[in-house]
Structure 1
């Protein structure tokens, strides 16, 4: 039952992302937040997959034309699959990485929000980042304490954390992560922004009130 609920939440996020994409809105917008996209390279692949699904739907319609009940069921499932595929691309677009450095709050709350569509939304406090580097990888070996979020089979940034942080998978499994590899369309800009945010001077304390 827990798995069913998790999958239902995921599909709901895909459908919401599709609505946000249609409305040209970004999920997580707010003061002091800078967005970094990562969906540019995978767009053609996702639309190609949606096109294949449409062709498959048309083919099944021809093959099942003599069984109207089965035809309607299969057509409904095929159309829903097309919507979910487009929703996956929409989620990549409207849920970018976010660097949250709101100057109106305590700097200890500054975070990097690493996202991958509708199924990963990892919040990394900036003070937990030990190092950030540009690193192109096209192969990824699974390791218990590493989180790889490739897009188009590649990652372009690597974060090393000072202390492990907790990550929950799509189905709710808990993992402790000390290395995160992910993709950004402009990895240099994101790496520079993270470095600047981590090394920004602390705000000066208020002057004591006059006696």
Structure 2
């Protein structure tokens, strides 16, 4: 019974979200939506939220009776009901919004002492700002032409949030660069969407290798190669002694033995990966000896 309820709640969530998105797209495109259709879609969303709450509450109370705290019980209930992809998208958005504050104070996210950061945003900066200005223009135009007050407010909120989110995604990339740590380990990142740490012991070779391939952000080929592309390009190739596990932005996992990623300064990144880690030298101190006593006069 509980399994059926969980499946129903997840299926309803996947139905409600596209329906709400389709409604917004139709309104933006100028399609005239009748009152009953609007009411039906909103009723669907409210019903799905009520169903989610009804399914999560027994899970929450069961966890509480098992001795878990409120936070742990709530997280367990959310994990059981909300699909992994939806949860990860929500976390990515929160991290991106947090990056706005980090960017505003001109700081970077988790750069250890002695580590070298390498940016990767150059190929996408122009595109991101173009999206930003297009979003601002679209928000202003819709605010002027939409005659219905309720729809006007909804689209204005959505437009402003979308504009802020575009800047937040770029801020996440700026504040989360690739990192080569002092011991030679590598941390590959793309904003808040992707994070992979590779220990120095697995890195066997690094070289500059420029590739231009179409496709998404994270791609895996049939030879065990992972491409973390920016602007459909990669500039650095790293060979590993054995495959490493990684997690895609929406939660799927994979493994790769060859890593290809973009760095704005690929030669500096390769030089940092090829350097020998510096080990501190312990200073040699002279041994202490017992005080020397001169021999006494002969007897």
TM exceeding 0.5: yes
Higher relative contact order (CA 8 A, sep 6+): 1
TM-score (norm 1): 0.87
Higher helix share: 2
> Does the residue aligned with 1:151 lie in a helix, a strand or coil?
coil
Shift of 1:147: 1.7
2:140 is aligned to 58
Counterpart CA distance in 1 for 2:193 and 2:278 is: 34
Structure 1 residue 17: deviation in Å? 1.0
Stretches of structure 1 that go unaligned for 5 or more consecutive residues are: 102-106
Aligned residue pairs total 201
Counterpart of 2:161 in structure 1 is: 80
Structure 1 residue 133 and structure 2 residue 210: aligned?
no
For normalisation by structure 2, the TM-score amounts to 0.62
Partner residue in 1 for 2:172: 91
Residue 85 of structure 2 corresponds to residue 3 of structure 1? yes
Question: Would you say 1:148 and 2:227 are equivalent positions?
Answer: yes
Q: Give 1 or 2: higher strand fraction.
A: 1
Residue 185 of structure 2 is aligned to residue 111 of structure 1: yes
Greater radius of gyration (CA): 2
Matches within 5 A, 1:10-49: 10-49=92-131
Could you list the per-position Cα deviations for residues 65-117 of structure 1 after superposition, in whole angstroms to 9, with x for gaps in the alignment? Answer: x201111001101111111111111111111111111xxxxx5xx42111111
Counterpart position of 1:104: none
Give distance in 2, aligned partners of 1:142 and 1:71.
43
User: How far 1:40 sits from its partner (Å)?
Assistant: 2.4
Distance in 2, Cα, partners of 1:149 & 1:29: 20
| Distance apart, 1:139 and its partner CA | 1.1
Cα distance in structure 2, aligned partners of 1:117 and 1:182: 13
Structure 2: 5+ residue runs without aligned partners? 1-81, 289-299
Distance 1:54 1:203 in 2: 53
Deviations 1:32-88 (A, max 9, x none): 211111112321210111111111112211221x20111100110111111111111
1:170 and 2:252 matched: no
1:160 counterpart = 2:234? no
Query: What SS is found at the alignment partner of 1:188?
Result: helix
Tell me the C-alpha RMSD between the 2 structures.
2.2
- The DSSP-based 3-state class of the residue aligned with 2:85 is helix
